[in-house]
Structure 1
Amino acid sequence: MTIILTPMQTEEFRSYLTYTTKHYAEEKVKAGTWQPEDALRLSKQTFSNLLPKGLETLHHHVWSLTLNEKESVGWLWIHAEPEHPQQEAFIYDFGLYEPYRGKGYAKQALAALDQTARSMGIRKLSLHVFAHNQTARKLYERIGFQETDVVMSKKL
């Protein structure tokens, strides 16, 4: 069973955007960055700013993670500015639908991204991961991502 990156279609993008906007708001509250009463509005604003033309936003690539070329198991979204001095792309969002987690598909998807990124001329991938998401942090460390900055907070 192989994971491939398939350009996300409009219908799936609508569902994805609804899900990820809510999920991002929840994660920002969990991280202590946003207040619950502001989170959904701020999340919608963030996605509107990042993807003003949806799937047609320049230099953004939103893929469905497809298992055996037919079954969508998750999503992956990067921004890749062709003129970036370090030939870097930023992973904005990556996830698997619940039934597909813990089965090795995330590692396969990121390997597929590596291959696709290289073919696009990308030489460096970066991402943000919430500190409380230990599962994701461990995965990223296992496949070669290294911390470059650490922001810490303390509640008083």
Structure 2
Amino acid sequence: MIRLEPMTADQLNHYSKFSFEKFLNDTAKLSGQSIEDLRAKFGDPPNRPSENDLWYVIHSEDSPVGFIWIQIQPKKQEAFIYDFFIEAEFRSKGLGRKTLVSGIELMKQRPVDKMRLCVYHDNAIARKLYASLGFRETDFNPERRQYTLELPL
């Protein structure tokens, strides 16, 4: 069983920095761009979420096992999963699937018609998980080597 809990300010500070650094490193690795150039392009990690940013710590039993960041985009009537991370020692136990199912159920209670996310081309495990939940590839960004996936709600 998993539980999604809204983050405290300290947790948000920690996880947003972690998320941003992971994004920069992954993008640099796959695109060939330098981390410094990417940092100049994208700025700093988010540290003040808007009312549409939903940051959750993922708990399994009583242990934090990861986080998910979903942003509601009211004008588009969609929710975008900006980041989703399960700690390595908790992977391959079904927690990612359970988290996504919980996130999908939460978004069905919001005024959104679809969920979207991006996934790197080389992340075959995640791509398989998303496809099994009904997400479909709608676009590919060759510069970042990322697919955009969409799930109608």
Same fold (TM over 0.5): yes
Q: What's the RMSD between the two structures over aligned residues?
A: 1.9
Specify the SS of the correspondent of 1:16: helix
Alignment partner of 2:125 out of 115, 135, 147: 135
Q: Which amino acid aligns with 2:124?
A: Q
The 1:130/1:46 distance shift into structure 2, 3 A limit, reads farther
- Could you list the runs of 5+ residues in structure 2 that have no partner in the other structure? 144-153
> Does the CA contact (< 8 Å) of 1:7 and 1:64 recur in 2?
yes
1:15-56 per-position Cα deviation (integer Å, ceiling 9, x unaligned): 21221121111110122163244344545x163xxx3x524x
Aligned length: 143
Report deviation, 1:64. Answer: 0.8
The 1:111/1:22 distance shift into structure 2, 3 A limit, reads same
Aligned counterpart, 1:32: 31
1:105-145 per-position Cα deviation (integer Å, ceiling 9, x unaligned): 00000000011111123221000111122221111111111
Alignment partner of 1:66 out of 59, 63, 70: 59
The 1:142/1:83 distance shift into structure 2, 3 A limit, reads same
Distance 2:41 2:19 in 1: 13
Q: Which amino acid aligns with 1:5?
A: L
Within 5 Å, give how 1:81-96 maps onto structure 2: 81-84=73-76, 87-96=77-86
Q: Which amino acid aligns with 1:98?
A: A
